[in-house]
Amino acid sequence: MKRKMFFVILWAAGGLVFLAVLTAVICNLYVSSIASPYVLTDHSSAPVCDAILVLGARVYASGQPSPSLSDRLDTAVDLYNAGKAPKILVSGDSTAAEYDETAGMLDYLLQRGIPRGDILVDQAGYSTYDSIYRTREQFGIRSVLIATQDFHIERSVYIARRLGLDAWGVPSPDRQAYWLYNRARESLARVKAVLETDILHRIPTA
d(CA 197, CA 192): 8
pLDDT bin (cut points 50, 70, 90) of residue 99 is confident
Percent of the chain with pLDDT over 90: 72
Burial bucket for residue 167 (CB in 10 Å: 0-12, 13-18, 19+): buried
pLDDT bin (cut points 50, 70, 90) of residue 201 is very high
- Per-residue pLDDT reduced to its tens digit, 115-142: 999 999 999 999 999 999 999 999 999 9
60-70 mean pLDDT: 91
Among the listed ranges 16-20, 52-56, 188-192, which one has the minimum average pLDDT value?
A: 16-20
Alpha helix ranges (H) inside the chain:
2-35, 67-81, 101-111, 128-137, 150-162, 179-194
Q: Phi/psi zone of residue 121: left (φ > 0), alpha (ψ -120 to 50 degrees), beta?
A: beta
80-95 mean pLDDT: 95
User: Would you state the pLDDT for residue 69?
Assistant: 95
Please give the residue that has the higher pLDDT: either 127 or 63.
Answer: 127
User: Would you state the pLDDT for residue 63?
Assistant: 87
pLDDT bin (cut points 50, 70, 90) of residue 8 is low
CA distances from 126 to 41, 63, 111, 142 (A): 27, 17, 25, 21
Please give the residue that has the higher pLDDT: either 167 or 206.
Answer: 167
Instruction: Inform me whether the pLDDT recorded for 177 exceeds 70.
Output: no
